[in-house]
Structure formats: structure tokens, C-alpha cells
Amino acid sequence: MKFKKFTVSQLFPVLENGKANQTLLENGDDCFYIGAKKTDNGVMRYCKYNDDLVQKGNCILFICNGAGSVGYSLYMDRPFMSTSDVVAAYNERLNLYVGLYLVSLFDLERPRYSYGRKWKNTLRQTTVPLPVDENEEPDWRWIENFMKGHILESSPNRTKELFLNSINTDSILPGRVPLTAASWKYIELSKVFQRIYKAQPHVKSNLSISERIKDNYVPFISRTESNNGCDGYVNSEDVTIEPGNAIIIGDTTASIFYQEFPFTTGDHIVICRSSNLNKFNALFRDIQLMASDGHGIIGRGCTERG
């Protein structure tokens, strides 16, 4: 396979600046607002649809400004609104597979913009190597087949479901349960959880960390705010294992997550356990903890009925 370098301007005939201001958008559930954010695929919030500000989906989004985020790129598959710090790039050959392939290449440019440099001034000249066909043009079919045959096939089943949009989204209840259906008051954590204790800490630098799960490996949970607190995976024989079904709190960062499966932790992790906990009510309590006032209570915790 022959490869050739192409510039952004060669790959994308249309480059479109974002034109929305988050503070002027109306609340709603119609559309994503994309900001200079490297996590959550750039989604800052949901908002009401605005014909004057919306942009077409099926594009690459280049984050051209923003401390810690400049230099990242995203693939957006649906209509959205975005900040002017984001540039949307369009090519008629783009699809989910090609888009994710390109994003992985463009993200290699990120280290160039880690110290306050903006990307917009040099975006058009940014180059990436792509496989080419007999006409020296990007071989889009090869890229798509590569993603389908190698990347997707080697992914976990859950990833495949997300990728192929084959997840069962049917509600487990016949309808929504309104929040007004329960009485509400503040409840101390000691009355919600039967055990609240400091986890046995492990120093990450002293462990052999894997970026992927392996046999006999468990998640290493730290105070990171991303990836449900998982900061890699470690051999279960080298660490103290905590059983799953627990809520963990980073006591210096207030990062809060529910851990369904066995795990181990870094320093400054508090573990909360209850015999009544399961993954459904735990996620509800997780949200309440994140909304708490920081004084050891659940903000607007729900009291049980019956």
C-alpha cells in the first residue's frame, strides 16, 4: 500500500467556522452544542435548535483554540451548533469509519499546540499521510474496509454495539417517573451508606499499568475525572482488590463514580458501600453526590416510600 501526504485544504473542500455563543443559546434537548472540549466528543450541553446557527453533521471538527484542548479533532455524525473556536471540515466521501480514521491521524498534531498556540492559522496546511489509489488520490474504500475489518472486528462487543448503533434502547419502565412522585430532603451520607472508608492506596508509578484490559487484570481507579475514574489496568496479583458495586469519591477532587466490577485504587479514594446498592440506584446517588454542597450530604436526596 502506497501512502501520500495531503493537506487539510486538499481533503476538505469546505471549512466552516462555528458561529454559536453558548451564553445566548436556549435550553432544550434538540441539538448538541460543541465547544473547545477534548472529552465527551466536544459536547458541552444540549440546547434548542436554531436554524441560523446549526451546522450539518458528518464532518471532522478541529478544535483550534482552548487551553488543554487545542489540537484535538472530533467526528460529528449529526447536526450541531458550535463555538467559533471550532472549524467543521466537510468531504462528500466522509462517513463514520473514514471520519474516525482521520481523527486518529489528526490527533497526532495535538502536541504542536500544547503551549497556547492556536491551530486556525495553520489548519489548512496541516498534513496527514493517507493510502492512495492508482490515481494518487486518497483511497477512501481501503480506509473504510480497514476500519471495518481490523479495528471494529478486534473491538469489545460493547464497543461494536455502540459503533453499529445496535444497543437496545427500550425503556425498562412503561413511562417516565416524575421527580415530584417522591418526597425530598437532605440526608447525611452515614445514613445512606453502611460503610464509608478510605481505600488501600497504591502508587501508580510503582505498578505496571496496561492501557487495555487483560486476563486477571482489574481497573486502577484514581482521581481522574474521565473514563469513570479508570486510569489503566493492573495485575490483580500485585494489588489489593476491592469488590465491585460501590461508589468511589476522590477526596481531593470530588470526582465521583460507580464501580460495578472489582477494582483497585490510587491514593485519596473514599469508598461508599450499602447492601441496598445496585447499578441503577447507585447511578442516581452518584448524580446526587455530584450535586451536593460538599458537606457530607446528598443534595436533595430522595427518601424511600413504602
Going across the sheet that includes 264-265, the strands are 230-235, 217-221, 264-265
33 and 160 share one domain: yes
212 and 282 share one domain: yes
81 and 204 share one domain: no
- In a domain, residue 303? The reply is no
Range of the domain at 232: 183-298
Which stretch of DSSP H or E encloses residue 106?
helix 96-106
Give the Cβ contact number of residue 145 at 10 Å. 12
98 and 224 share one domain: no
pTM over 0.95: no
Q: Going residue by residue through the chain (306 aa), what tens digit of pLDDT does each one get?
A: 899 999 999 999 999 999 998 888 898 889 999 999 888 899 999 999 999 999 999 999 999 988 778 899 999 999 999 999 999 999 999 999 999 999 999 998 888 886 668 898 899 999 999 999 999 999 999 999 999 888 877 777 777 777 777 777 777 777 777 778 788 888 888 999 999 999 999 999 999 999 888 889 999 999 888 888 999 999 999 999 999 999 999 888 888 999 999 999 999 999 999 999 998 888 887 666 665 544 444 444 444 332
- In a domain, residue 135? The reply is yes
261: CATH: 3.90.220.20
Alpha-carbon distance of 204 to 221, in angstroms, equals: 10
What's 152's DSSP letter? I
SS3 of 242, please? Answer: strand
- In a domain, residue 136? The reply is yes
Query: What's the pLDDT at 75?
Result: 95
- CB 284 within 8 Å of CB 269: no
| Residue 82: strand pairing partners | 34
Q: What is the largest CA-CA distance in the chain?
A: 72
Q: Give the angle 96-102-106 at the CA atoms, nearest 5°.
A: 140
Residues 6+ apart with CB under 8 A from 66: 35, 36, 37, 85
| Residue 269: strand pairing partners | 250
